[in-house]
């Protein structure tokens, strides 16, 4: 089943890889570089996203996106996949506790990202490796 997916990460590599693979899998994808851009899209986007891949970095502005979605009833079915750095994982997961957010630890594999798109992914998280050659990008 085709899903509407929003990918938010300042890394163009991650945006391109995820959007390419997700589109090839039959999904509709919108990409944005910042949480502020994502909030603007959500405010005017007629088609509510089914899933949001959201990079959470040290600035933690991504939490505004999560709070916005949780505060609006039309997003009740929207799921999140938080993309986090290993060294920030514990702190971020404590903050997100109870928010029904799955996560990927950067760097991650595209296969594990795609696995989180399916309905069978409920409650699944992955810690994997994305082989882009840009390990530090997206921090």
Domain annotation covers residue 137: no
- Say what the pLDDT of residue 95 is: 78
Domain annotation covers residue 52: yes
Domain annotation covers residue 135: no
Domain annotation covers residue 138: no
Higher pLDDT, 91 or 24: 24
Sheet holding 79-85, edge to edge: 28-32, 4-8, 51-55, 79-85, 101-106, 126-127
pTM more than 0.75: yes
Domain annotation covers residue 98: yes
In which band, very low, low, confident or very high, does the pLDDT at 25 lie, cut at 50, 70 and 90? very high
> Domain tally for the chain?
1
- Say what the pLDDT of residue 59 is: 65
Domain that residue 81 falls in: 4-127
Quickly tell me which residue has 């944005």 as its tokens.
32
Query: Percentage of the chain with pLDDT > 90?
Result: 60
d(CA 89, CA 57) in angstroms, rounded, equals 10
pLDDT in tens, 9-21: 999 999 999 999 9
Within a 10 A sphere around the Cβ of 45, how many other Cβ atoms?
13
CATH number of the domain to which 8 belongs: 3.40.50.2300
In which band, very low, low, confident or very high, does the pLDDT at 30 lie, cut at 50, 70 and 90? very high
- Say what the pLDDT of residue 132 is: 37
- Say what the pLDDT of residue 80 is: 94
d(CA 7, CA 12) in angstroms, rounded, equals 11
Mean pLDDT value of segment 127-135: 39
Confidence check: pLDDT of 136 > 70: no
Domain annotation covers residue 134: no
């Amino acid at each position: 089943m085709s899903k509407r997916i929003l990918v938010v990460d300042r890394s163009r590599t991650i945006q391109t890889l995820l959007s390419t693979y997700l589109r090839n899998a039959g999904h509709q994808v919108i990409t944005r570089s910042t949480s502020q851009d994502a909030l603007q899209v959500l405010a005017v986007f007629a088609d509510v996203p089914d899933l949001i891949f959201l990079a959470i970095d040290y600035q933690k502005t991504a939490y505004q996106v999560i709070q916005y979605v949780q505060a609006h009833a039309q997003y009740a079915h929207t799921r999140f996949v938080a993309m986090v750095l290993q060294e920030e994982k514990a702190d971020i997961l404590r903050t997100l506790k109870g928010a029904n957010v799955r996560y990927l630890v950067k760097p991650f594999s595209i296969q594990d990202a795609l696995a989180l798109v399916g309905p069978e992914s409920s409650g699944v998280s992955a810690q994997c490796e994305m082989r882009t050659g840009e390990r530090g990008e997206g921090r």
